[in-house]
């Protein structure tokens, strides 16, 4: 089902909070399966079918990419290559007792003002350019750390409530998800952006954000996840084009939940990202859709019809017809390092299915000369495994924790310290 965009646009213009009755009713009727015994029989497509050697992978990868692009995320416009315009309208400043420096360049991306929050080791000018972790935040840059000097922009309600000015009381409310001090002390910069600056997260018929500068998407063209991934690539362009003390060849892309899906597609569609991290990305991300456990394709497309291209809706309650799955998405990142993480209580995101996707992507990684995933049995809770594919399942719920960041930084230090993963 695709919600009529005219209805949504009118409601947004009037700043009306609304609930679409059809979506609400279908969401309430949905009863997720959490019983492994009730998973339907399925066969995963072989990403290496027809591949005889590593030399054959480039052609096969291109075929898989086009398939997933056409049937799931949608094709994004080609970047014309112009230099990303930006302004330094806020002075930089130091935090963490002088160990880190904060800057907030304002980028112009497809006509949108996109405020970037950059937190990096303060001694960056005295050392070689540092690696970085780039990722979206959900609530605005001011929620990442509590500091009155972080710009308060506008934020969008996820239900289509329209824009509002961010509030001082929200400063630092998501700080527990970002481990800023740990990231800086590990020698990494953090680059984060509010995802609503690129595209508001509701089905408005693609009339806001970067989509306003382009024709309405066709059934095989980009949805919001592809749009957010495209935006991350433009921020990477900015880092390449300007000396910011960051090594643009050693940038890891990170995301949680829907933004974990985004980080995976960003890594798959832009090989310049040297390392990819997916945190609790679930259905449409690292979890195998054919298992139909927890959130399903039909459920995600009903509640969030703007995330994927319209073609993906043909697999609603029809996962058996998919000639691709999450393991092939993960394989597109090979041989670059990939970390997938799950949470024990986040059964909605199917932790076992996320691990199985890593297992099924492993042959591609090994074909390309890496050590892939170190083991094929689901690891115990809080016992990470790290090869060129890393994985852990931790105690707790759908969230990003300090435990997660400890593993990500250990993994990133191993693979990016000397430029590995380029």
Say what the pLDDT of residue 20 is: 42
Say what the pLDDT of residue 1 is: 31
Q: What is the pTM of this model?
A: 0.93
Say what the pLDDT of residue 26 is: 59
For β-strands 112-121 and 154-156, DSSP reports them as: unpaired
- Strand partners of residue 178: none
For β-strands 130-137 and 189-194, DSSP reports them as: parallel
Distances in Å between the Cα of 41 and the Cα atoms of 36, 149, 282, 330 are 11, 55, 20, 22
List residues with catalytic annotation. Answer: 257, 398
Q: Which of 344, 345, 377 is nearest to 358 (CA)?
A: 377
List, for residues 366-418, the tens digit of each pLDDT value. 999 999 999 999 999 999 999 999 999 999 999 999 999 999 999 999 999 86
Q: Measured between alpha carbons, how far is 90 from 412 in angstroms, rounded to an integer? A: 30
Q: 10 Å Cβ neighbour count for 375?
A: 11
The CATH number given to 5-416 is 3.40.50.1820
Q: Which of 325, 265, 47, 41 is nearest to 136 (CA)?
A: 265
Say what the pLDDT of residue 16 is: 29
| Phi and psi based region of residue 81 (left: phi greater than 0; alpha: psi -120 to 50; beta: remaining) | left
Q: Measured between alpha carbons, how far is 196 from 154 in angstroms, rounded to an integer? A: 9
Contacts of 194 (CB under 8 A, 6+ apart): 115, 136, 137, 138, 139, 140, 141, 153, 155
> Contact at 8 Å (CB) between 283 and 296?
yes
Q: Measured between alpha carbons, how far is 76 from 58 in angstroms, rounded to an integer? A: 21
> Contact at 8 Å (CB) between 264 and 333?
yes
Domain ranges for the chain? 5-416
Say what the pLDDT of residue 39 is: 97
Say what the pLDDT of residue 25 is: 57
Q: Measured between alpha carbons, how far is 340 from 280 in angstroms, rounded to an integer? A: 8
Per-residue pLDDT of the chain (422 residues; tens, 9 = 90+): 333 333 333 332 323 233 344 555 556 689 999 999 999 999 999 999 999 999 999 999 999 999 999 999 999 999 988 999 999 999 999 999 999 999 999 999 999 999 999 999 998 665 679 999 999 999 999 999 999 999 999 999 877 678 899 999 999 999 999 999 999 999 999 999 999 999 999 999 999 999 999 999 999 999 999 999 999 999 999 999 999 999 999 999 999 999 999 999 999 999 999 999 999 999 999 999 999 999 999 999 999 999 999 999 999 999 999 999 999 999 999 999 999 999 999 999 999 999 999 999 999 999 999 999 999 999 999 999 999 999 999 999 999 999 999 999 999 999 998 644 44
Say what the pLDDT of residue 17 is: 30
Q: Measured between alpha carbons, how far is 287 from 322 in angstroms, rounded to an integer? A: 14
- Strand partners of residue 103: 118
Print the SS3 string covering the chain. CCCCHHHHHHHHHCCCCCCCHHHHHHHHHCCCCCCHHHCCCCCCCCCCCCCCCHHHHHHHHHHHHHHHHHHHHCECCCCCCCCCEEECCCCCEEECCCCEEEECCEEEECCEEEEEEEEEEHHHHHCCCEEEEEEEECCCHHHCCCCCCCCCCEEECCCCCCEEECCHHHCCCCHHHCCHHHHHHCCCEEEEEEHHHHCCCCCCCCCCHHHHHCCCCCCCECCHHHHHHHHHHHHHHHHHHCCCCEEEEEEEEEEECHHHHHHHHHHHHCCCCCEEEEECCCCCCCCCHHHCCCCCHHHHHHHCCCCCCHHHHHHCCCHHHCCCCHHHHHHCCCCCCEEEEEECCCHHHCHHHHHHHHHHHHHHHHHCCCCCCCCCCCCCCCCCEECCEEEEEECCCCCCCHHHHHHHHHHHHHHHCCCCCC
Q: Measured between alpha carbons, how far is 18 from 162 in angstroms, rounded to an integer? A: 11
């Amino acid at each position: 089902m695709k919600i009529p965009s005219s209805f949504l646009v009118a409601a947004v213009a009037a700043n009306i909070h609304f609930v679409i009755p059809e979506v609400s009713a279908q969401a309430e009727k949905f009863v997720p399966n959490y019983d492994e015994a009730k998973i339907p029989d399925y066969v995963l497509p072989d990403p290496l079918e027809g591949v005889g050697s590593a030399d054959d992978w480039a052609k096969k990868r291109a075929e898989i990419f086009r398939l997933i692009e056409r049937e799931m995320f949608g094709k994004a416009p080609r970047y014309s290559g112009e230099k990303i315009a930006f302004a330094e309208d806020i002075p930089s400043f130091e935090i963490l007792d002088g160990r880190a420096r904060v800057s907030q360049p304002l980028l112009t991306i497809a006509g949108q003002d996109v405020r970037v929050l950059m937190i990096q080791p303060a001694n960056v000018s005295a050392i070689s350019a540092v690696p970085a972790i780039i990722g979206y935040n959900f609530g605005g840059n001011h929620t990442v750390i509590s500091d009155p000097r972080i710009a308060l922009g506008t934020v969008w309600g996820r239900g289509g409530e329209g824009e509002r000015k961010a509030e001082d009381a929200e400063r630092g409310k998501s700080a527990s998800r970002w481990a800023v001090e740990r990231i800086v002390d590990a020698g990494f910069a953090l680059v984060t952006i509010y995802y609503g600056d690129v595209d508001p997260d509701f089905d408005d018929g693609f009339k806001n954000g970067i989509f306003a500068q382009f024709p309405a998407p066709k059934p095989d063209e980009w949805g919001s996840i592809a749009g957010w991934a495209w935006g991350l690539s433009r921020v990477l362009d900015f880092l390449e084009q300007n000396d910011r003390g960051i090594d643009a060849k050693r940038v890891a892309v990170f995301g949680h939940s829907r933004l974990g899906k985004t980080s995976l597609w960003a890594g798959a569609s832009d090989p310049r990202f040297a390392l990819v991290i997916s945190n609790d990305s679930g259905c449409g991300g690292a979890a195998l859709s054919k298992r139909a456990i927890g959130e399903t394709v039909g459920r995600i497309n009903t509640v969030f019809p703007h995330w994927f291209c319209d073609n993906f809706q043909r697999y609603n309650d029809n996962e058996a017809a998919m000639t691709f799955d999450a393991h092939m998405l993960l394989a597109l990142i090979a041989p670059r390092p990939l970390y997938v993480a799950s949470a024990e209580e986040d059964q909605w995101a199917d932790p076992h299915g996320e691990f199985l996707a890593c297992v099924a992507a492993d042959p591609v990684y090994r074909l390309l000369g890496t050590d892939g995933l170190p083991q094929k049995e689901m690891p115990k809770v809080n016992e990470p495994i790290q090869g060129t594919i890393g994985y852990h399942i931790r105690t707790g719920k759908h969230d990003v924790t300090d435990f997660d960041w400890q593993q990500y930084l250990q993994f990133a230090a191993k693979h990016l310290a000397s430029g590995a993963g380029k």
